[in-house]
Amino acid sequence: MITVRVPSPLRSYTAGAAQVNASGRTIGELLGDLDRHHPGMRFRMVDEQERIRPHIRIFINQREVQTLSEGLQATDEVHLICALSGG
Amino acid sequence: MSLSDSERERYSRHLLLPEIGVAGQEKLKRAKVLVVGAGGLGSPASLYLAAAGVGTLGIVDHDRVDLSNLQRQLLFATSDVGAGKALTAQTRLRALNPDVSVIAHELELRGDNALELLDAYDLVVDGSDRLATRYLVNDACVVLKKPLVSAAIHRFEGQAMSYVPGRGPCYRCLFPESAEGLVPNCAEAGVLGVLPGMLGALQATEAIKLVLGLGQALVGRLLTYDALAMQWREFRFARREDCAVCGREPTITRQSLLAAGKSGPGAPGLKRLKPRQLQERLEQRNKAVAAVAIVDVREPREFSAGHLPGAVNIPLADLSERLGEIPPHASVVFVCRSGNRSQAACTLAARAGRAELADLEGGMLAWAAMIDPAMTVAPFR
C-alpha cells in the first residue's frame, strides 16, 4: 500500500484523515483506488478530460507528477497539494 | 541614506549580524515593500517588516476590522472594530516604528490599479485571502518584474513560495488557473489563529532576505506547513514553458491586465447584491413581478442545514454540467456561504453565455447577520 497525504480542503472525503493508504501501479490507478474508498475525491483532482485540475498538484515523494500514467513503487509517498486561498 | 543615532540603537541587534551590519540596515531603509492584505498573514508580516526598519511600507486593504478578525490579526485591537484596516494598520505600524514611512492604500486591488500601485515598490508580500487577488498580484509582479513572496492558509495548513524575476517559476507555474470557490477561505473553513503568524513571519523573513540578497530564496520550492503534524515539507517545481504569464508566449500581459481590470479581480460586469437587495428581489419574485432563480452553489450538506426559500441546490463543482437546469429567461442570483463560490459561479455562468447574473455579497453569513438570524449556516469543509 502507498501512503497518500491528503490536503485539508480534501479531507472532507477522508473523514478528516490527513493520511490514507491506497494501491495502484500508476497515479491514475491510485486515484481510482482512492475514489473507491472515498467516493467523489478523484473528481476534485481530475477533470472530465483526465487532466489533473489546475489548482491541484501531485508529488511522488518530492517529484512533481505531470501525467496520470506515472509509475509508483510500493515505498513511495504521494502528496496531494491543493491551492489554498486563505490569508 | 545613513542611519541616525536612534536607528543605530533600535537596530543594534541587526547591526551585530555580519550578514546585515550597517550596509544591510541602510539597504532595508531604502527598500519599499508592499503588503497586500492586512489580515492574518499581512499582520505579522507588516509588523516584522516595520520593526526591521524597511523604509517604506505600503499596506493595501479595503476592508474594515471585524471582531472575528482579532483571533489572528494582531495589527488590530478590540477598539478598532469597524475602522478601516489600511489606516488602522498605518497608525499601529507608525507607533511601532516612527522611522518607517507607512502608506495606507484603502482600495480594492484591480487590474487597472494594480500595475501602477505595485510599480512604486521594490517587492511585494501577498497575504490576500482571495484567489483572484492572489493571481492578479502574481501576474502584475511578473509583468513588472517585481519579486513576490506569496503565502496562503487553510484550517491548520499553510503554504509559501517566492517568485524572483528571471530566477524561477511563478505562482501560476505551480497552480495555472484559479479555482475560486472550489477552495474555501478562512471565513468559510475556519483557521487556527496562530497559523498565519507562522506563515506571515516566514514571509517577512523571505522579504528581508530578498532585499538584502541573503541566503537561499524560496524560489522553485513550495514550502508546506501542517500545524497538527507539526511538519514542514518542501516540494520542488519548475517554470512552465506554457505558463500564461511567465511562459514563452504569455497571454496575460500589461495590456490584458489593464483591460480586464475595471471591475476588479472578480467576474467582470456582474452584480453583487447586498442581503437587503436580495430580499427585495425575493419579494418581487413572490409577487410574480420578476422571474428570479436563486441557485445555491454550496455542498448538499450545507444546503440541507439551511437555505433561502425557493433556492435550488447545484454545487459549484457540478455547475458547468447542470447550467441547463436553470430556467433560461430568469435572472439568476447565486448564493453560497460567504460570497466566494457564488462569484466563481457567476464567472462560470457568464462564460457559458448566461446573462442577468448576480450573487449575494457576503453569502448566507451576511444574510443571517442582516436579515434572518434564525438561518443556520453550516461550515464549508
Do B71 and B189 share a structural domain? yes
Residue with the bigger pLDDT between B288 and B254: it is: B254
Catalytic annotation, residues of B: 186, 336
With respect to residue B62, please indicate whether it lies within any of the assigned structural domains. Answer: yes
In this structure, the answer to whether residues B74 and B194 fall within a common structural domain is yes
Q: Is B301 part of a structural domain of the chain?
A: yes
B125 plus B241 within the same structural domain: yes
Tens of pLDDT along B145-183? 999 999 999 999 999 999 999 999 999 999 998 776 666
Residues of B in contact with A11 (CB under 8 A): 381
Does A18 sit within 8 Å of B228, measured CB to CB?
A: yes
Q: What's residue B345's pLDDT?
A: 86
**Residue B219 within a domain:** yes
Into how many domains does chain B fold?
Answer: 2
Span of B70-79, B205-214, B344-353, B364-373 with lowest mean pLDDT: B344-353
pLDDT of residue B80 exceeding 70: yes
Q: Is A30 helix (H, G, I), strand (E, B) or coil?
A: helix
Contact A86 B178 (CB under 8 A): no
Residues 6 or more apart in contact with residue B351 via CB below 8 angstroms = none
Residues B200 and B287 in one domain: no
Report d(CA B153, CA B42) in Å as an integer: 12
Q: Does residue B38 fall inside a structural domain?
A: yes
Is the domain of B197 the same as that of B82?
Answer: yes
Cell of B150: 506569496
Same domain, B200 and B299: no
User: Which of the residues in chain A have pLDDT under 70?
Assistant: none
Same domain, B179 and B71: yes
Q: What is the pLDDT of residue B349?
A: 84
- Mean pLDDT, all residues of chain B: 91
Read off the CATH number of the domain in which B322 is found.
3.40.250.10
B279 with B364, same domain: the answer is yes
Query: CB-based contact (8 Å) between B89 and chain A?
Result: no
pLDDT of residue B269: 52
Q: Has residue B37 been placed in a domain?
A: yes
pLDDT at residue B263, as a whole number: 43
Instruction: Tell me what pLDDT residue B193 has.
Output: 97
Of the residues B262, B280, B312, the one at which a domain ends: B262
Q: Domain of B165: which CATH number? A: 3.40.50.720
> Whole-structure pTM over 0.80, yes or no?
no
Residues of B in contact with A57 (CB under 8 A): 174-175, 222, 235, 237
Which residue segment(s) compose the domain that B143 sits in? 31-262
> pLDDT tens, B111-157?
889 999 999 999 999 999 988 899 999 999 999 999 999 999 999 99
Residues of A in contact with B160 (CB under 8 A): none
What is the 3 state secondary structure string of chain B?
Answer: CCCCHHHHHHCHHHHCCCCCHHHHHHHHHHCEEEEECCCCCHHHHHHHHHHHCCCEEEEECCCECCHHHCCCCCCCCHHHCCCEHHHHHHHHHHHHCCCCEEEEECCCCCHHHHHHHHHCCCEEEECCCCHHHHHHHHHHHHHHCCCEEEEEEEECEEEEEEECCCCCCCHHHHCCCCCECCECCHHHHCECCCHHHHHHHHHHHHHHHHHHCCCCCCECEEEEEECCCCEEEEEECCCCCCCCCCCCCCCCCHHHHHHHHHHCCCCCCCEEECHHHHHHHHHHHHCCCCCEEEEECCCHHHHHHCCCCCCEECCHHHHHHHHHHCCCCCEEEEECCCCCHHHHHHHHHHHCCCCCEEEECCHHHHHHHHCCCCCCCCCCC
The length of chain A is: 87
Residue B9 lies in a domain: no
Tell me: pLDDT of B379 over 90: no
pLDDT band at B291 (very low <50, low <70, confident <90, very high): confident
Residue B16 counted as domain residue: no
pLDDT for B325 equals 87
- For residue B19, being part of any structural domain is answered with no
Q: Are residues B179 and B237 in the same domain?
A: yes
Average pLDDT estimate for B12-33: 98
Share of chain B above pLDDT 70, in %: 94
Question: Which CATH architecture fits A2-82?
Answer: Roll (3.10)
pLDDT value at residue B265: 47
ipTM of the complex: 0.93
Tell me what pLDDT residue B121 has. Answer: 97
pLDDT value at residue B95:
98
| Residue extents of the structural domains in chain A | 2-82
Nearest by CB to A87, which of B153, B155, B229?
A: B153
